Amino acid sequence: MSYAAFLEGKAQAGALHGFEPSWLPDFLFGFQRALVDWATRMGRSAMFADCGLGKTPMQLVWAENVVRETNRSVLILTPLAVAQQTVREGAKFGIECRRSAGLLQPGAHVVVTNYEKLQHFRPEDFAGVVCDESSAIKAFDGKRRAEVTEFMRTVSYRLLCTATAAPNDYIELGTASEALGEMGQMDMMNRWFKNDLNNSFTGRMHGQVAKWRFKGHAEAAFWKWVCSWARACRKPSDLGFEDDGFILPALTEREHVVETRTAAPGMLFALPASNMWEEREERRRTLAERCEMAAQLVADTKQPAVVWCHLNAEGERLASLIKDGREVSGASSDDEKEEAYEAFASGQLRVLVIKPKIGAWGLNWQHCAHVVTFASHSYEQYYQAVRRCWRFGQTRPVVVDLVATEGERGVKENLRRKSEAADRMFTELVAHMNDAMRLDRGAKYERAVEVPAWL
């Protein structure tokens, strides 16, 4: 055995657990067929495809291939808001999907349910499982996340689908790896990273949050490993295809700074917040002013709009100010939420008021080209909220109005910094993915390897 082969054998890399697909329909674009072909042959993989690139038809075709190969059922897990949308997409493409709240109906090949209903299903009843909008898994509490991972552990074929992971959120990649059976989250973190607390803790300890960073010279090896079980693209050209039909319209982001009516206790005038506590205090103190600004922004247009809020009191105030709007809150029943989503998507409802953690994943709202949101440091929530409307298939320029106070001026800069970090992460993913794809196609590389003297 050569030294190069010895090193290659020691490398951690995704293994092949799949089969050759028997059905790659013409309704898939070329890049979509390439991704489905790769994911089916892998058997256990992740597709980090950006919003509007067709993750739903891709996962449906993948599921249908598993059904045809095994003559058994596949379970598709989605956020609540996306379940019925997935069933409609299945009907559109001629793939029979049945939605279920916990019973495996006779003859049901592709079963769709939301994550909250998972405990009503048995993994032994399925040959494959798809986690749609899989980045939502990390938002679950520890019990729910463990439940999803344990359910997938004994299922032969597994697919995770989501937009590109949050910038530098390596824990999310570890969650995906563990669910696919590649490497445990903590094993991944300890192999390639170290943190400021000098331990293996991933959360908050004694008021401190563990900040993980790459070990020396580990970054390239890490991304090579990720690309052994994942593929990522924000546009077809990332996979070597033409971008025809997948070019986003213009995006205009406008910041509106609201003047506060009352200064903070002990202050004569408003000052920029210096910490998170001051930001939260100002957010509550200026609730009326910010909601009035947001309501005015959507009232002037008479066009469809979605208003993203973060506090219950914000949603309630906005719903009272926007006469042709409707709030979807955590207290709304599942039926009420889905009815509101349907009404907004069909144009019966002009303005939807909602929190990102409730409806920012997976929904297609290309009919809407106006987004209003309050300031938040969560880049992932901001990105997902904007991409409900600014996505492939949108035909009009999209306007995003960010409503903030004087004390929140630093939020937009923080979002810009995180956006740049996300772009850097994606560049790394694509570069190593392209290397992996060249190897998949049989490209030969001449590698000069210096053998150590002790060998």
What is the model's pLDDT at position 393? 87
- Tell me the pLDDT tens digit for each residue of 360-407: 777 889 999 999 999 888 888 888 899 999 998 899 999 999 998 877
Residues of the chain with CATH 3.40.50.300: 251-415
Helical spans, DSSP H, in 181-235: 185-192, 219-226
In the block, tokens 């379970």 appear at 75
What is the model's pLDDT at position 328? 93
CA 235 to chain centre: 16
What is the model's pLDDT at position 94? 93
What is the model's pLDDT at position 450? 42
CA 176, 177, 180: angle at the middle one, nearest 5? 85
Cα separation of 21 and 334, whole Å?
Answer: 36
In the block, tokens 């580990």 appear at 218
What is the model's pLDDT at position 437? 65
What is the model's pLDDT at position 302? 86
Regions of the chain with pLDDT less than 50: 3-4, 6-11, 201, 203-209, 268, 441-455
DSSP strand E in 80-239: where? 97-99, 110-114, 126-132, 157-162, 193-195, 204-205, 208-209, 212-214, 230-233
Cα separation of 184 and 118, whole Å?
Answer: 22
Cα separation of 291 and 306, whole Å?
Answer: 13
In terms of C-beta density within 10 A (0-12 exposed, 13-18 middle, 19 or more buried), how is residue 419 classed? middle
Helical spans, DSSP H, in 367-408: 379-387
Residues contacting 75, CB < 8 A, separation 6+: 111, 113, 121, 126, 128, 129, 130
Could you tell me which CATH number the domain at 251-415 has?
Answer: 3.40.50.300
Residue among 347, 295, 343 at smallest CA distance from 317? 295
What is the model's pLDDT at position 216? 81
What is the model's pLDDT at position 373? 95
The full 3-state SS of 275-320, as one line of letters, equals CHHHHHHHHHHCHHHHHHHHHHHHHCCCCCEEEECCCHHHHHHHHH
Q: Classify domain 10-244 at the CATH superfamily level.
A: Tandem AAA-ATPase domain (3.40.50.10810)
Reported pTM: 0.82
Residue among 278, 78, 257, 63 at smallest CA distance from 162? 78
Pairing type for strands 73-78 and 110-114 reads parallel
CA 86 to chain centre: 16
What is the model's pLDDT at position 217? 80
Q: What 3-state class would DSSP assign to 213?
A: strand
What is the model's pLDDT at position 140? 57
Residues of the chain with CATH 3.40.50.10810: 10-244
Say if CB 111 and CB 98 are below 8 A apart: yes
